[in-house]
Copies of this chain bind each other. A is one copy, B any other.
Amino acid sequence: MKKSLTVIALLFLFLACSEKSNLNAIKVNNPDELTKAIDSAKAGDNIVLANGIWKDVQIKFRGKGTKDNPITISAETPGKVTIEGQSYLKFGGEYLVVEGLYFKNGFSPSNAVIDFKIGHKDAPDEISNNCKVSNCVIEDFNKPKRDDSDLWVQFWGRHNELSNSYIAGKTNRGPTVRVSIAGIESINNYHQIINNHFGPRPVKGGPSGETIQLGDSYTSMSPSHTTVANNLFEECNGEVEVISSKTNFNVFKNNVFYKSEGSLVTRHGNYVSVDGNYFIGDGVNENYGGIRIINTGHWVVNNYFYGLKGKSFRSPLAVMNGIPKSPLNRYNQVTDVVVAYNTYVNCASPWQFGVGQNLAQSDVLPKSEIRSARAIRTTVANNIVYNEKGLESIVVENDKADGVTFKNNIINNQGVKFKDFDGGITEASLELRPLTDNIFIPVGIPDDFEAFEGFDFNTIETDLLGVSRKEDKSIGAITGKNVSNPNILDKTKYGASWYSNEVEAREPVTHVVTKAEELQTKLNEASNGDIIALSAGVYTVNESLVVNKSITIQSEGKAQLVYAGLANTPLFSLQPYGKLTVNNVVLKGNDSNYAFASLKENMSNHFGLTVTNTEISNFNYVLKAYKESFAERITFENTSISNCENGIELSEEKNDKGDYNTEYLTINSCNFDNVKQNVVDYYRGGYDESTIGGNLLVTNSTFTNCGAKEKNKRLLNHNGIINVNITKNTFKNNAVQFVSILWGAKNNVESENSITNSGQLKTEENLVMKLMY
């Protein structure tokens, strides 16, 4: 009897609950109905958007719910309500919830896609508190122009939440998510950014491509208390900072950084906790970062680093030098930082100190840019480092680490000697105990080795897996007791319940083309990844071919594409998403038109270009990338380029704000003959110490009779590009003064080049650049 009563009671409760969510359901079918429903919504109401496409819908969600009875806007079926066109969602109230929406095929006409305030010019802003976005997706919701800045989620107010959402594909300027705290209404905000899946954010090619930014330098003195926890950051490659923390007392806990080309950076602000996060690399890519530390009072504990090959700014732990009496927006000295109980497995450079030390650049930089203040009052204790191959330096000292106290750290360095910092780092023979593919627990620490008891270390209560550290003397991220697999790469744990970014592999389809007229038609019909196979012969093309997907154009018998289009138009128009591979063809112009070009504007997504085994001749430009266009990779291989007025032109980002047009420009085994100017012109301007792009590789190629019209008398122009490698090339009879001028202070190198009657290949240590900040 008692049991059945319980059952009935439970049933009743269940009905009550499920009823509750439907009780006040108000279904709406269009923006007008939505606006009306919002206007009259009361606490407990659930406004349900009918499935379908909602275009150009600008939602101002005003209302006053309560903790127990919020006002909700939800999708009829989560994921089946798409918000498209020029749309946004702004909150202005208390206890408001939005669930299940899918933002795609559009962009916000405002400064944010989702904003936790409704701003006004001449009246106080309506700032939200206790509001929530959950189970939503924002995908490729980019402004058409890369330089037009926006945010996809902007926090204001207090106690707001972004949870269980998938957000990916931002290419335009601006952090994906920002917590803004200007104004007392938004300090001590305790916002929650939890359980989200931050999917791929492609390289932006310049600054302002963070995935999460908390505050800015102007509010960096304010207490924020934002929590970023249990999120998956997958391929968040926008720029060097995946997360840029710029306020105080933020908490980063149990996040997974998976193959993300950037770091969690305490850029401004102080007293941040970075506790129990996973940084997973692939053992190869040097761009995957870890934690970069600036400022005061941070605690970096219980973190796990695996297979990270980054160095300097992208080291697993990069502790920067500060600027003495730093300006507000530059680099304060590192003080009072604790790095404890972390585990590093097979990382190339686990600990770097004095990162950013630039005393050598005192001649070209003002005193207020010289990072000479070393970390002080900093403790590194109870960490474990396991290296399958011993490292020469466990601690890389870009500047002396004399203000750092090392205590009770253990390393397996395969017997390779290292500086032990007064015994603070001890060698031990460890083994790796596998927990999953990429989580290994180093075991074999001597029984009598005990953790260092640092000041307030008792506040580190649990390990990476949440196991209590009470009565435990072990070191490293994992105590080894009560171990369970955290399944960190199980994507169902993160993001929207109804969405997966895993794409099933698909075999490419080959579309055979035999006549010029078929070309554009087949390009239109082809799906992403397909192949256009040209039969042998000559194809005269009169209008630009539009490329707006991943496509390969190839022939077996070196088909010839002769472009007869207008002057200054391209044979291939590389449009957003257009990633073109050209293989084994001949491309010929009329001396006034182009082989390849981006759109002049509205390049809302990246293009790409790979040219192999191809002959290119008689164009005005081989490639013209316009301002605000960006390609992750541009590659020319086994290709000849001859009798062109201009070569590869990627130099329109002249505003010196750190932007550039491609991340990787690779020229291998190519033959340049009689290209009169801009043979290679690749530009990045603006002093930004943390930039690590772009990348120019010129190898095994021959340049003959090129550069005659080049005004600055340089054959290869790559001003401000950080990584340049010019190797095993032949330069012959080029009427220039310099083959190239390399930037010695950065990663610009050359070797084994043969230079005949082509001027010099020179290295200048320092480059004078415009200050960006």
* Contact flags A310-325 to B (C-beta < 8 A → 1, else 0): 0000000000000001
Residues of chain B within 8 A of A561, CB atoms compared: none
A525 to chain B, nearest CB (A): 55
Given the interface contacts A325-B327, A326-B328, does A184 sit within 8 Å of B455 by beta carbon? yes
* Contact flags A12-42 to B (C-beta < 8 A → 1, else 0): 0000000000000000000000000000000
| Option from B223, B295, B377 in Cβ contact (under 8 Å) with A182 | B377
A185 to chain B, nearest CB (A): 5
Across the interface, do A223 and B335 meet the contact criterion of CB distance under 8 Å?
no
Interface membership of A397, Cβ < 8 A = no
| Option from B184, B297, B327, B332 in Cβ contact (under 8 Å) with A368 | B327
Interface membership of A83, Cβ < 8 A = no
Interface membership of A446, Cβ < 8 A = no
A460 to chain B, nearest CB (A): 13
Interface membership of A271, Cβ < 8 A = yes
* Contact flags A169-189 to B (C-beta < 8 A → 1, else 0): 000000000000011110100
Across the interface, do A221 and B328 meet the contact criterion of CB distance under 8 Å?
no
| Option from B222, B297, B333 in Cβ contact (under 8 Å) with A297 | B222
Interface membership of A68, Cβ < 8 A = no
Interface membership of A273, Cβ < 8 A = no
Interface membership of A135, Cβ < 8 A = no
Interface membership of A583, Cβ < 8 A = no
* Contact flags A183-197 to B (C-beta < 8 A → 1, else 0): 111010000000000
Across the interface, do A328 and B329 meet the contact criterion of CB distance under 8 Å?
no
Interface membership of A519, Cβ < 8 A = no
Cα(A185)–Cα(B271), bound, Å: 13
Residues of chain B within 8 A of A329, CB atoms compared: 325
Across the interface, do A221 and B377 meet the contact criterion of CB distance under 8 Å?
no
Interface membership of A270, Cβ < 8 A = yes
* Contact flags A328-358 to B (C-beta < 8 A → 1, else 0): 1110110110100000000000000000000
Residues of chain B within 8 A of A328, CB atoms compared: 325-328, 332
| Option from B182, B221, B336 in Cβ contact (under 8 Å) with A183 | B336
Q: Which of A217, A218, A221, A296 has the most CB of B within 10 A?
A: A221
Residues of chain B within 8 A of A297, CB atoms compared: 184, 187, 221-222
A322 to chain B, nearest CB (A): 9
Residues of chain B within 8 A of A223, CB atoms compared: 271
A745 to chain B, nearest CB (A): 25
Closest to A405 in B: B124
| Option from B184, B325, B326 in Cβ contact (under 8 Å) with A338 | B184
Interface membership of A689, Cβ < 8 A = no
Interface membership of A456, Cβ < 8 A = yes
Given the interface contacts A325-B329, A329-B325, does A184 sit within 8 Å of B222 by beta carbon? no
Across the interface, do A221 and B182 meet the contact criterion of CB distance under 8 Å?
no
Cα(A187)–Cα(B329), bound, Å: 24
Across the interface, do A222 and B187 meet the contact criterion of CB distance under 8 Å?
no
Closest to A338 in B: B184
Residues of chain B within 8 A of A338, CB atoms compared: 184
Across the interface, do B295 and A221 meet the contact criterion of CB distance under 8 Å?
yes
A61 to chain B, nearest CB (A): 21
* Contact flags A216-234 to B (C-beta < 8 A → 1, else 0): 0111011100000000000
A276 to chain B, nearest CB (A): 20
Across the interface, do A296 and B221 meet the contact criterion of CB distance under 8 Å?
yes
Residues of chain B within 8 A of A330, CB atoms compared: 325
Cα(A124)–Cα(B204), bound, Å: 47
A120 to chain B, nearest CB (A): 14
Q: Which of A183, A325, A333, A368 has the most CB of B within 10 A?
A: A325
* Contact flags A148-165 to B (C-beta < 8 A → 1, else 0): 000000000000000000
Q: Which of A184, A269, A328 has the most CB of B within 10 A?
A: A184
Closest to A299 in B: B184
Closest to A324 in B: B328
Closest to A181 in B: B336
Cα(A329)–Cα(B333), bound, Å: 13
Closest to A185 in B: B455
| Option from B183, B269, B271, B332 in Cβ contact (under 8 Å) with A377 | B183
Residues of chain B within 8 A of A296, CB atoms compared: 219, 221-222
Closest to A377 in B: B183
Cα(A217)–Cα(B221), bound, Å: 13
Residues of chain B within 8 A of A270, CB atoms compared: 221-222
A767 to chain B, nearest CB (A): 24
Residues of chain B within 8 A of A327, CB atoms compared: 325-328, 368
Cα(A236)–Cα(B219), bound, Å: 34
A115 to chain B, nearest CB (A): 19
Cα(A368)–Cα(B184), bound, Å: 27
Q: Which of A326, A336, A377 has the most CB of B within 10 A?
A: A336
Given the interface contacts A270-B221, A297-B187, does A335 sit within 8 Å of B182 by beta carbon? yes
Tell me the residues in window 504-562 of chain A with beta carbons closer than 8 Å to chain B beta carbons. Answer: none
Given the interface contacts A222-B297, A332-B328, does A456 sit within 8 Å of B377 by beta carbon? no
A372 to chain B, nearest CB (A): 14
Residues of chain B within 8 A of A185, CB atoms compared: 455
A42 to chain B, nearest CB (A): 24
A248 to chain B, nearest CB (A): 8
Additional A-B contact list (13), CB under 8 Å, known A183-B377, A184-B297, A221-B269: A182-B336, A182-B377, A184-B336, A184-B377, A184-B456, A187-B297, A187-B336, A221-B270, A221-B296, A222-B270, A222-B271, A223-B271, A327-B328
Query: 8 pairs across A/B with beta carbons < 8 Å?
Result: A184-B377, A187-B336, A221-B297, A221-B332, A326-B327, A326-B328, A327-B327, A328-B332
Pairs A-B, 6 closest by C-beta atoms: A325-B327, A325-B328, A221-B270, A184-B336, A325-B329, A221-B296
Q: Which residue numbers of A lie inside 8 Å of B, CB to CB?
A: 182-185, 187, 217-219, 221-223, 248, 269-271, 295-297, 325-330, 332-333, 335-336, 338, 368, 377, 455-456
